[in-house]
Amino acid sequence: MKILAIDPGYERLGIAVITEKEVIFSTCFKTLSKLPFPERLFLIGQELERLIKKYKPEILAIETLYFTTNQKTAIKVAEARGLVLYIAQKFGLGVKEYTPLQVKIAVTGYGKAEKAAVANMLKKILKIGPAVKSDDEFDAIAIGVTALSSRAY
């Protein structure tokens, strides 16, 4: 089972393609802040379509939004998340959504785990190369592990 896991964003989008055994692909896809927002969404869409065609995942796992501060940012991230969900439907992927709490519990067993603890546990669970350094990548991988651990596919 291949899972395309997404940590949603529009400036930085964490992306991972994983199986039960390994991380096949991961990246932090970035868009330039000087670009108009619609163009940034377009670039994200193009990248996701390219990755879906290349890796042929069956499931999209995505984190739900949780914001306590910047509402302007939250709205744009929500719009980017909507784009991701649209593309998943366009390609017939099953969609699984998880809260940050669910992700932390699935990976570490503790809902208030720090990012470093999540990253360390992921390195023990899956084959993760040293090139993975971005928090956004680790978040995407953790979301994918959550989908695998829930066996909700």
Q: Could you read off the pLDDT of 64-113 as tens digits, one per residue?
A: 987 666 677 888 999 999 999 999 999 999 999 999 999 999 999 999 99
Residues of the domain holding 142: 3-150
Which pLDDT belongs to residue 67? 62
CATH classification at residue 96 = 3.30.420.10
Contact 96, 153 (CB under 8 A): yes
Q: 61-92 as b/e, with b when 16 or more CB fall inside 10 Å?
A: bbbeeeeeeeeeeeebbeebbebbbebbeebe
Residues with active-site annotation = 7, 63, 136
Cβ proximity of 48 and 41 under 8 Å: no
Q: Which residues contact 76 (CB under 8 A, 6 or more apart)?
A: 10, 37
Q: State the pLDDT at residue 128.
A: 85
What's the structural domain count of the chain? 1
Higher pLDDT, 123 or 47: 47
Q: What is the pLDDT of residue 70?
A: 66
Percentage above 90 pLDDT, the chain = 80
Residue-wise pLDDT for 6-29, tens only, equals 999 999 999 999 999 899 999 999
> What is the chain's mean pLDDT, rounded?
93
Tell me the C-alpha to C-alpha distance, in Å, between residue 39 and each of 27, 28, 29, 153: 20, 18, 14, 33
pLDDT at 9: 92
Residue 26 pLDDT: 96
pLDDT of 61: 98
